[in-house]
Amino acid sequence: MLEIGIGEQGRIFIAGRLDAAQTEKAQAFLDSVEGSAVVDCDRLEYISSAGLGVLLRTQKRLMANGGGLRLVNVNPHINNIFRYSGFDHIFEVEAAGT
């Protein structure tokens, strides 16, 4: 199950599992994002390669127009996935507690 929306302080929140079954829902929401945005990953439990693809497509689109995503409150497990996949070089990633 995936929840995605606008939360506190205008941040995007992603909660639950961002896997292949949820990519259409996530991409539809993220396609509406313009400019720069902060994504609160505090409640993101799991991300698959398909989920990474959704974030990457969004990041490329936003960067082409001078914006981008900043991922915050990333738990250690998800942070490791970002590091091992090289996404920490594509996104600004802030681990939880920093």
DSSP 20-67: GGGHHHHHHHHTT--SEEEEE-TTEEEE-HHHHHHHHHHHHHHHHTT-
With a cut of 80, say whether residue 74 has pLDDT above it.
yes
pTM: 0.92
CATH of 2-95, one of 1.10.1740.10, 3.40.462.10, 3.30.750.24, 3.40.50.720: 3.30.750.24
Count CA atoms within 13 Å of residue 12 on its CB side: 21
pLDDT attached to residue 98: 65
pLDDT attached to residue 8: 79
**Each residue's pLDDT tens digit, 25-40:** 999 999 999 999 999 9
With a cut of 80, say whether residue 55 has pLDDT above it.
yes
When pLDDT is cut at 50, 70 and 90, the band that residue 97 belongs to is confident
